[in-house]
Chains A and B, each alone.
Chain A
Amino acid sequence: MVEISNNKKLLRIALRNCGLLNPEDIFEYIALGGYESLGKAITQMTQDQVIDEIKKSGLRGRGGGGFPTGLKWELTKKQKSQEKFIICNADEGDPGAFMDRSILEGDPHSVLEAMAIGGYAIGARKGLIYIRAEYPLAIARLSTALQQAGENGLLGENIFGTDFSFDIYLKYGAGAFVCGEETALINSCEGKRGEPNYKPPYPVEEGYWGYPTCVNNVETFANIAPIITKGAQWFASLGTEKCKGTKVFALVGKIKNVGVIEVPMGTTLREIIYDIGGGIPGGRKFKAVQTGGPSGGVIGEANLDTPMDYDSLISIGSMMGSGGMIIMDETDNMVKIAKFYLEFTMDESCGRCTPCRIGTKRLYEILNKITSRKGTMADLDALKQLAYMVKDGSLCGLGQTAPNPVISTMKYFWDEYLAFIKDVDHPRGEGRYTAKNKIGIRS
C-alpha cells in the first residue's frame, strides 16, 4: 500500500473537478454546479460587482508574477475601446511543470466559464486560448468543450438570454518558452515572431491588434468560478495575509510521490516535500528544491520552513513561478543543475535584446568551462558579474530571471563551484581577484 499521509493539508479549488468528472461531457460539469457562476455573474451582477468580488477575494495571477487579477480586470475595463480581448495563457513551458495541462485535460469547462465571466467583467466579446501545440490531448478536450458549450448556448450570442455575447478561439503555440511572456504571447497570436515588446504600453492598454487585452493564466481562471459562487470572503479566508487561496504545484524529481498537488498558500516547503511528497526515495538526503522552473532559484535545507507565497519566495532569491517544483537529492551537482537551466534559457532566448541573447550564451560557456574543470577563480567572478548584468539589463522576464539558478546556487552551494576550480585562492569566495590584463574583468 502506498502511503499518502496527511491529506488534510491539501485543498482543491482549481483542481476541484480533476479526476472527478468526464472532461468530454458538459452535462457532468453542469451537474456538479458548472456554469452557474457565469449565469449568476451575467444575470444578477454588474460588471463592477464582478470585478469587485474578484478584487476582494485577493486572487493574484497564478502564472508566477502574482499581479492582482481583480486590478488587471479593472484596468482593462477602464480602457475606452470598442473592442477588447481576454486571453488565457496556456503556454506552459517550464521544464517539470504540468499543472495547467492537468486542469485543461481534467476540467476544461472551468476555464471556459471563467473566461466568459472575465469577458463580461472587462467588456470583451472575444476570448483566445493560447495553448502550446505540445498538448494535443488538452487541445482535443478544449475543442470538444468549446463545441459543447456553443451547442448549448453557454458561449455565443446572447448568453443566458442577456445581450452579452462571447466567443472563444484557440491559438496554438509553436513551442517557444518566451511566448509565455504576455507581450510575446500577443505577438505570437497575431502571427508575428514571438518576441516581447517594451512595456509600457501594457497589454491592458494596447494588446492584441492594439486593443486592450487582459492575459490571465489557466490556473487563475480555474479559481474564478468558485469565487463567484462561494463569495470573496470564503476565498480570502484561505491562505496567508497577502496571498489568498491555494496554489497548484507539480512535484517532480527525486521525490517519492511525483504528482500534482494543491495546497493553501503559506504551506511550508517541508510540509510539501515530506508530508505530501513522501520525502526522498532510496533513503538519500534532501539537498535542494528548484521552484519556478528556469526562472526561479534553488532553495536549500536551511530555508525549508519558508511559507510558499509570492513574497517569501522572492525574499530568499527564488520565485513562485507557475508552480513546477523540482526536488534534488545529495547525488545532484548544483553547478551542473545551474548549467542545465542556463542551457535551456540560452536555447529559448528569443534574441531580441542583447543582454539576454549574448549574456545567457556566455554564462553557459563559463559554466561549461567550470564543469569541465578548466575554470579559474576569475571565471567565477566573471560569472557572478555577468549574471547580475543579464538580470538587470534584459528586456523581459525571461532574461531578467534567467541568471537566478546561477545566482542562487552560487549563494547556497559555493563549495560546489570551488570544487571544480583548479586554482582556489580565496575559498570564501567574494572576489579578491584582480584583473591581470586590460580587458580582464574586475570584480
Chain B
Amino acid sequence: MKINSLDKLKKIRNEYQKNVCLRVNSTDSENSDIRIEILIGMATCGISAGAKDTFNAFQEELAKQGVNDAKVVSVGCIGYCHSEPTVQVNIRGREPVLYGNVKKEEVQEIVQKHIKGGNPIEALTLAINFERA
C-alpha cells in the first residue's frame, strides 16, 4: 500500500490512532478495544538487563490470569537506565505508572495487584506522568 498523498497519510493516521491514544492520554480512548497497555523498554540497555524475559513473562502471566484486553508493546529506551528493565503500565482512565527494575520475578505481582487489582505497587514505581518529561 503506497501512501501517495498527504490526505492518505492523515487517513492512516486516524485509522491507527486508536492503537496509540492510550500512550498520550488516558481519557479519550473509549473506542479502542485495548484497555491496558504495558510498554517495556527494549533497547540495548533494557535487553541486557533482562527485558526480554520480562516481556515473555508478561505475556505468559496475562494469558495465565485471563487478562485479554491488555497489550504488551516493546518500545525504545525511556532514559532511566539506572532502573532497567523499565515497564510502563497505561490503564484507561488512569495516570500511567512507570516501574523500574522489573525482573521476571516481579511480573506476577504487577499483573495480580495492579492490572487485575488496580493498585500500583509503590515500592517499584518511578515518577512519571503524561507530560512524560
Contacts and interface: CB of A to CB of B under 8 A. Distances in A.
Interface of A: 1-5, 7-12, 15, 17-24, 27-28, 30-33, 35-36, 39-40, 43, 98, 101-102, 105-107, 135, 137-138, 151-154, 158, 160-161, 256-262
Contact of A35 (B9, B79, B100): B9
Given A1-B122, A20-B75, A160-B3, A137 B80 contact: no
Given A31-B16, A105-B76, A259-B82, A36 B1 contact: no
A98 B133 CA distance: 19
A1 B9 contact: no
B20 A32 contact: yes
Query: 3 smallest A-B Cβ distances: which pairs?
Result: A106-B76, A19-B78, A153-B2
B80 A12 contact: no
A7 B75 contact: no
A28 B3 contact: no
The interface centre, meaning the residue of B3, B44, B79 with most chain A CB atoms within 10 A of its CB, is B79
Nearest to B73: A22
A160 B4 CA distance: 4
B131 interface: yes
Interface of A is mostly: loop
Given A12-B132, A30-B12, A18 B77 contact: yes
Interface of B: 1-6, 9-10, 12-13, 16-17, 19-20, 23-24, 39, 41, 43-45, 47, 73-83, 86, 88, 100, 122-129, 131-133
B19 A19 contact: no
Contacts of B77: 18-19, 102, 105-106, 260
The interface centre, meaning the residue of B20, B73, B74 with most chain A CB atoms within 10 A of its CB, is B20
9 contacts: A9-B133, A15-B79, A17-B76, A18-B78, A18-B79, A19-B86, A30-B13, A153-B4, A257-B82
A8 to B, nearest CB: 7
Contact of A28 (B16, B78, B133): B16
B77 to A, nearest CB: 5
Contacts of A160: 3-6, 9
Contact of B41 (A19, A24, A39): A19
A257 B39 CA distance: 21
Nearest to A250: B81
Given A19-B39, A30-B13, A4 B126 contact: yes
A106 B81 contact: no
Nearest to B4: A161
A421 B5 CA distance: 71
A40 B1 CA distance: 20
A185 to B, nearest CB: 22
Given A28-B20, A32-B24, 16 more contacts: A1-B125, A2-B83, A4-B127, A7-B127, A17-B76, A18-B75, A19-B77, A19-B86, A20-B39, A31-B13, A31-B19, A36-B9, A43-B6, A106-B77, A137-B44, A137-B47
Contacts of B76: 17-21, 23, 102, 105-107
Nearest to B80: A259
B78 A101 contact: no
Contact of A154 (B3, B24, B44, B74): B3
A257 B123 contact: no
Given A35-B9, A107-B76, A152 B3 contact: yes
Contacts of A24: 74
A289 B57 CA distance: 39
Contact of B88 (A19, A40, A101, A257): A19
Contact of A137 (B9, B43, B82): B43
Contacts of A260: 77, 79, 81
A404 to B, nearest CB: 26
Contacts of A5: 127
A28 B19 contact: yes
Contacts of A43: 5-6
